Structure 1
Amino acid sequence: MPGDSEDPNADRQYHLEVTGDDVADSVLLPGNPDRIETITDLWDSSRTVASHREYRTATGRYDGTPISATSTGIGGPSAAIALEELARAGSATFIRVGSCGAIQPEIDVGDLVITSGAVRQEGTSEEYIHNDYPAVADHEVVSALIAAAERLGYDYHVGLTMSADSFYAGQGRPGFDGYEAPGSDDLVETLRNANVKNIEMEAATILTLASLYDLRAGAVCAVYANRQTGEFRTEGDARAAETASLAVALLARMDQRKRELGVNQWHAGLSLD
């Protein structure tokens, strides 16, 4: 576009500082840069390839499969930058690996929530497409995450996620000095009655952009808190990281199986055995 101050298609991406040689086809997307080490500790091998602002990227292998992880920071705007630049570098499969608050009483702290679709209560995705466009996880990624959680024996739940732009007012929490945003008093109850499983801040943006760009994406989050029971503990990060890493390895096997059989989509009639 005329007047651009930098070339967004340059070989080395502007914010992430990665090139196509630095990242694998499949990338895990934690929010917190410190979670990169939690993830890579589970891999066969890894190396840090870039670190700039909130974006830290490592690449290696898990179960022999090439894999990368890039931290996105908090919220939709920075997550969109990460996905945009990773896609430009050649990556095509993305799995958010995060933490969340559950809003259904049967979900325990430490469980995993695998997102099938997201309520777009953030603003970033609306800058790409009107708000009645759905944020839907890729069915192959969801299947791989479920299979991974089953194989690892981790408790998990599958369903809808709400993505917000605010940790406080946007999730029905009081702001500074007790400030309450309009509608915040019944937000969580409304979502619970609609069978939404959890609240976090990035999934809707990632899923929407992936669908627009014909990429694969999904999300798995460790439950830190249950907004119904009031329980809070920061646990489950390693379980989410291992589930996502194994899902990438399973997706690679699924893709290989599709190539062998000459089909375009994974389905229940195929087998990984």
Structure 2
Amino acid sequence: MKFQILNANFPKTEEGRVYHMEVKRGEVANRIITVGDTNRAKMFIQWLDKDTPVFYLESQRGFTTVTGKYHGVPISIVGIGMGLSMMDFFIREVRSTVDGQLAIIRFGSCGTIGAPKVGNMIIPSGAFAITRNYNYFSNGEDETSLNGEKPYNFTKAFYADPMLCKQIEKQLLNSFDEKEIFTGLNATCDSFYSSQGRQDENFRDCNSDIFKTITATYPNTVSLEMESFMLYHLASSSTSAPLKNSNRVSDKGNSIKAAATMMVFADRFRNEFISPEKVQEVQVIAGLAVLDALVETELSEVHPESEECVWNTNTSFNTFTLRRE
């Protein structure tokens, strides 16, 4: 797709398509499930209402957007890949193209350093970030440590929307035993390797005791992954929900409700990893639960009845056709 960008501050095309996701107003719903795996995003298509066209778009920057209806409620599923940056792109660009409140649930995978086991579900009540301290590695390890530098930095914790978390837990309990569902803090790491404590002899990572540091800093930590902190942080940093073609705002306070639930793929203490068969089993059960939780969430929506929204169009197009203009 060729873009003619009109604004370097927040790049959009003349028709309002954002730079990385390539979506415009009316192509993303107020209720969103975000996943890392684009194949997981496609999985949700089978559960969307059959009497409503399904919008599907793959951007050149690796984002996959699926929009339709579930039980009559407009829903979007967005595959974003991995990492803090991809979550930042996604939230900011969606916020700029959707009017009114947003409810966003991250549905993904994680590792655990606590009681949960492979195949269990985690609903993180909050998340903090762990980032590599580049200054620590600028010279010799001993020299930088003497200057008070530590190899990894920890942020404060930011928290999910408690009601959205309760909705997720309620739906998961329909299919999982309560002993298979855990809450607690999530450590969002800037690397799958170094800041998650994986040992790699090819690099000097100084992470052999990072699990001890995590539990000493945040004793309630149960999971490790790479996205939830940015979701919670930006939701907490969001301003009031914008209305189309207006200087007014729909509500005071934050315009984004955020929560997450993750399947445990890696048990770091027991050194176990989930099987492909178990992944397929758990993600179907949990995916349906997340959909049900999302449609029960109350929002101050603005444009669900607009004719410009893809879920209200009478156009019938193939589910897997790239819809680019």
Shorter-normalised TM-score: what interval? 0.7 to 0.9
SS at match of 1:211: helix
Are 2:92 and 1:92 equivalent residues in the alignment? no
Q: How far apart are the structure 1 equivalents of 2:156 and 2:202?
A: 34
Identify, as 1 or 2, the structure richer in helix: 1
SS at match of 2:26: coil
Q: How far apart are the structure 1 equivalents of 2:105 and 2:263?
A: 13
TM-score computed with the length of structure 2 as normaliser: 0.69
Are 2:154 and 1:113 equivalent residues in the alignment? no
> Can you give the 5+ residue segments of structure 2 that lack an aligned partner in the other structure?
1-5, 133-153, 239-253, 302-325
Tell me the residue number matched to 2:33.
Answer: 28
Tell me the residue number matched to 2:143.
Answer: none
Q: How far apart are the structure 2 equivalents of 1:207 and 1:6?
A: 24
Are 2:303 and 1:245 equivalent residues in the alignment? no
Q: How far apart are the structure 2 equivalents of 1:243 and 1:98?
A: 13
Q: Of 15, 20, 38, which residue of structure 2 is paired with 1:15? A: 20
Tell me if the contact between 2:30 and 2:75 (Cα under 8 Å) persists in the aligned partners: yes
Tell me the residue number matched to 1:39.
Answer: 44
Cα deviations by residue, 1:148-167 (Å, 9 ceiling, x for unpaired): 11233353111110000100
User: How many residues matched?
Assistant: 243
SS at match of 1:80: helix
Tell me if the contact between 1:31 and 1:71 (Cα under 8 Å) persists in the aligned partners: yes
Q: How far apart are the structure 1 equivalents of 2:131 and 2:49?
A: 36
Are 2:208 and 1:185 equivalent residues in the alignment? yes
Which amino acid letter does the alignment assign opposite residue 198 of structure 1? S
Are 2:112 and 1:102 equivalent residues in the alignment? yes
Tell me if the contact between 2:103 and 2:297 (Cα under 8 Å) persists in the aligned partners: no
SS at match of 2:38: coil
TM-score computed with the length of structure 1 as normaliser: 0.81
Identity of aligned residues (%): 27
1:130-209 equivalent positions in 2, closer than 5 A:
134-153=157-176, 155-175=180-200, 177-182=201-206, 184-192=207-215, 194-209=219-234
Which amino acid letter does the alignment assign opposite residue 15 of structure 1? H
Closer, same or farther: CA 23–4 of 1 in aligned 2, 3 Å: closer
Cα deviations by residue, 1:36-79 (Å, 9 ceiling, x for unpaired): 11223333346243211220000112232211011111100011
Cα deviations by residue, 1:132-173 (Å, 9 ceiling, x for unpaired): 654210112111111111233353111110000100111000
Tell me the residue number matched to 1:232.
Answer: 273
Closer, same or farther: CA 110–132 of 1 in aligned 2, 3 Å: closer
Cα deviations by residue, 1:151-199 (Å, 9 ceiling, x for unpaired): 3335311111000010011100023x353512x1111233345120100
> Can you give the 5+ residue segments of structure 1 that lack an aligned partner in the other structure?
124-130, 257-273
Cα deviations by residue, 1:179-237 (Å, 9 ceiling, x for unpaired): 3512x111123334512010000000111001111111111111101111111114232
Tell me the residue number matched to 1:264.
Answer: none
Q: How far apart are the structure 2 equivalents of 1:109 and 1:239?
A: 15
SS at match of 1:166: coil
SS at match of 2:37: coil
SS at match of 2:297: helix
Max Rg structure: 2
Which amino acid letter does the alignment assign opposite residue 224 of structure 2? I
Q: How far apart are the structure 2 equivalents of 1:87 and 1:159?
A: 27
Which amino acid letter does the alignment assign opposite residue 50 of structure 1? L
